[in-house]
Each structure stands twice: as structure tokens, then as C-alpha cells.
Copies of this chain bind each other. A is one copy, B any other.
Amino acid sequence: MNRTEKYINHVIQEAILNIENNGGPFGAIIVLNNKIISTGVNSVTLDNDPTAHAEINAIRKAAKTLGKFDLTGCILYSSCEPCPMCLSAIYWAHINKVYYASNRDDAHNAGFDDQFIYYELDKPIKDRKIPFENIYRDKAAIIFEKWKNKIDKTLY
């Protein structure tokens, strides 16, 4: 069995175990230099945290373990195609590659509506199901002014 297959088997087992533990049916791991540095399972309902998807949990743990917010060099294995939230988190974390087993159609058939969010992201803001309203933009300009003028800031 090659490494990729071994890691996918691992996330599948994590997902199954998480169902048995009353969590959601998703598991993910993050691998750096052929070593698993974090495991995440979907704990949305267990932790009352709508952001606690397997990939987000794995990313948060890996960053904590490494003591840095940039996961360049890391590979993420997920039991399922990442939803738009997790996909964006993968970009923010600078993960190098993602392997996933089930896809968004499989997730949809199991009752998870990632596709709906992909559609919403594509829409002009005014057509979205959740109204997003831009207000007092001028008032907020001072924030980025202060940010740009801060000399000792940590960029990311």
C-alpha cells in the first residue's frame, strides 16, 4: 500500500469513528515531511461550533503544533472534498496540496449542501439568499490607514 492510500484509509477510519462518537461523517489529517502532524474530525454538533469542520479543526491543530499560522509544505488529506469554507481556509493556510476521497456530490447526497454555498459565492452580492449590506464604508477607512502606517506589524 502506498503512502497516499495509507493516509486516505486513515481519514476514512477517523470519519467512521467520528460517526460512532456522534460527530459528523468527516475526517482530515495534515501531513508534513511524511508525518501526520494533526487530525481533525467534524465536531459541529458535538462542540456547538458551525466552523468545526474536519479540515478547519486539522488546520487549527497543525498551526498550533507548529507554532505558526503558515502551513507551507503541508499536505491535507480529507475524507471528502472540502466545502468552500475549508477550501478558503486551505488557501489562507498556504497548504501545498489536497487529496480527498468523496466529492461534493457524495456530500450532497448525504445531506450536506456545500454546493449551495458554492452557488451563493458566485452570485452578485445583491442576489444572495443572506443579505449583505455595505454601509458606512467611509467611516472604516481609518482602520486600513492605521494598518498601513503601523511599522512593526506582522503580515500574513
> Which residues of A does B touch, CB under 8 Å?
4-5, 8-9, 12, 15-16, 19, 22, 24-26, 44-45, 47-51, 56, 59-60, 63-64, 66-71, 79-85, 87-103, 106-107, 109-111, 116-118, 120-122, 130-137, 139-144, 146-148, 150, 152-156
Q: Are B44 and A69 in contact (CB under 8 A)?
A: yes
Q: Are A143 and B102 in contact (CB under 8 A)?
A: yes
Say whether, besides A8-B139, A117-B88, A155-B111, A132 and B48 are in contact (CB < 8 Å): no
Query: Closest CB of chain B to A24's CB: distance in Å?
Result: 7
Q: What residue of chain B has the Cβ atom nearest to residue A82's Cβ?
A: B132
> Which residues in B have their C-beta under 8 angstroms from that of A134?
81, 99-101, 103
> Which residues in B have their C-beta under 8 angstroms from that of A120?
87, 91
Say whether, besides A121-B118, A143-B25, A144-B109, A136 and B88 are in contact (CB < 8 Å): no
Say whether, besides A19-B147, A69-B45, A9 and B139 are in contact (CB < 8 Å): yes
Q: Are A142 and B59 in contact (CB under 8 A)?
A: no
Residue among B68, B94, B116 making CB contact with A48, cutoff 8 Å: B68
